[in-house]
Amino acid sequence: MVRACLFGWAMFTGFCAMAFGAEGKPILFSPVSEAPEWRLLDGYQGTITRGQFEERLHRIFDPSGALQKYLQWGEDGVEIFRDPARTQSLFQLRFARPESAPSSSSVSFSLADPQKPLLGQVICLDPGHIGGDWADIEERTFRIGRDRPVVEGELNLQTCRLLAERLTAAGAKVVWTHEGFQPTTEVRPADLYPEAIQYLLQDPLSRRMPRYSVNGLIRWNAELLFYRSAEIQARARRVNEELRPDFTLCLHYNAAPWGPTRRASLRSINRLVLFAHGSYTANELAYDDQKFHLLRKLLENSSPDELEISAAIARQFQEKWGFRAEDCAGSGYAHASGVSPYVWHRNLIANRLFRGPVIFVEGPYMNDRTMYGWIQAGQYEGTRRIGGRERQNIFQEYADRVADGILERFRNLKGHSPTFTNYSP
């Protein structure tokens, strides 16, 4: 879902709500989300030096410096505030003294078993979107003429099933955020009308959608809250409370925006991109829950794993498919990771809420001419001539690129820095 504007979602990136706390002070948080529990960060007191904190903040999470106005630096810590006037304190972090900082030296263990390099790893697969009866509501489906409809949720799941076979064969335990076409959340769009109305009353952006009636706009918002906020939060609860994987793979197929007529049509756009967490925008950082998740992710330090695994997968794509890297420079929502031209930092709901490393793979463009033909060919046996080359079916090739990247990374893992050892607070 990299191109949030594909089917008209662009205006909803800064999607937030406001409630009032006990003292009548506003508490800002994203809709249908849980208010942040700052005490969960107390386990990180004294675990990071000021230098480490500032380096991660600048390089990964806040390259524009938008968080600075909410921070007050002290002798041995930093305090984070709700407001730029710094009157409402949210949390105070105590730094480790440089000389007492936990060692970052590697804990070496023996080379991975070359046949089973993923032995001991719990890997969570998160096939993007829901699909099935929900595909229309999610606006992740299209059809050209009398061809078979392309439903992203189904392509993601089909690919993840083949990926699971590869990962399991290499020794991993594979767990899933969802494995069918049913939502993970119990909530349904009709339950979210009050939140949708509240959101519309607050957000002036919503008035820019003349093609909807008021009722249509409320329904559309309730659906959006359902499949984006409620569904991904339910998946996050499953990941964080039940599955507790070593890392999560969010797998998607991409799509380029339709032209001005908004009619489905094919283009020539073979590109690939992977996202690691980070790159919070100034708008996002106005909200308490975004500040909380930034801090939690920074302290959790999943970034090194996210970047290494993403870069290894990107190398496979580059070598075997040769697509160019997506250029997100100037997007306003992502910045270059520096580890690979394919890997960018971006703040997405899933990689913000899922704890532990999250590798977000945006696969081939579904509405690229060659990819579309490859998708239409289905899950065939053996190889066929696609785009001038003999190829296996797209699901197998996509799964193989991801699996080979992960295997390569773990085969070459000689030592392991304990960056992310236990995310239970």
Closest distance to Zn ion from the beta carbon of 128 (Å): 4
Label residues 88-121 b or e (16+ Cβ within 10 Å = b).
Answer: eebbebebbeeeebeeeeeeeeeebeeeebbeeb
Closest distance to Zn ion from the beta carbon of 1 (Å): 4
Give yes or no for residue 128 binding Zn ion (CB under 5 A): yes
Selected range binding Zn ion among 34-42, 83-91, 122-130, 185-193, rule: CB under 5 A: 122-130
Task: Please say whether the beta carbons of 162 and 396 come within 8 A.
Answer: yes
- Helix, strand, or coil (residue 6): coil
Count the alpha carbons within 13 Å of 416 in the hemisphere toward its beta carbon.
15
Decide whether 36 or 128 has the Cβ nearer to Zn ion: 128
Closest distance to Zn ion from the beta carbon of 151 (Å): 11
Give yes or no for residue 157 binding Zn ion (CB under 5 A): no
Selected range binding Zn ion among 20-28, 58-66, 248-256, 341-349, rule: CB under 5 A: 248-256
Closest distance to Zn ion from the beta carbon of 269 (Å): 15
Decide whether 217 or 349 has the Cβ nearer to Zn ion: 349
- Residue 25 burial (C-beta neighbours within 10 Å; 0-12, 13-18, 19+): exposed
Evaluate the CA torsion angle 172, 158, 340, 356 in order and state its sign.
Answer: negative
Decide whether 128 or 356 has the Cβ nearer to Zn ion: 128
Closest distance to Zn ion from the beta carbon of 364 (Å): 12
Selected range binding Zn ion among 67-75, 246-254, 268-276, 331-339, rule: CB under 5 A: 246-254
Helices (H), ranges, 144-191: 152-169
Closest distance to Zn ion from the beta carbon of 184 (Å): 16
Size of the site for Zn ion (CB under 5 A): 3
Closest distance to Zn ion from the beta carbon of 248 (Å): 15
Closest distance to Zn ion from the beta carbon of 228 (Å): 11
Give yes or no for residue 1 binding Zn ion (CB under 5 A): yes
- The set of residues, in sequence order, having a beta carbon less than 8 Å from that of 370 and lying 6+ positions away, is 268, 270, 386, 387
Give yes or no for residue 364 binding Zn ion (CB under 5 A): no
Label residues 207-223 b or e (16+ Cβ within 10 Å = b).
Answer: eeeeeeeeeebbbbbbb
* 107 strand-pairing partners: 416
Give yes or no for residue 6 binding Zn ion (CB under 5 A): no
Give yes or no for residue 153 binding Zn ion (CB under 5 A): no
Contact flags string 250-269 toward Zn ion, x per CB under 5 A: --x-----------------
Decide whether 117 or 128 has the Cβ nearer to Zn ion: 128
- Residue 388 burial (C-beta neighbours within 10 Å; 0-12, 13-18, 19+): exposed
Tokens of 71: 């921070």
Chain positions contacting Zn ion, by CB under 5 A: 1, 128, 252
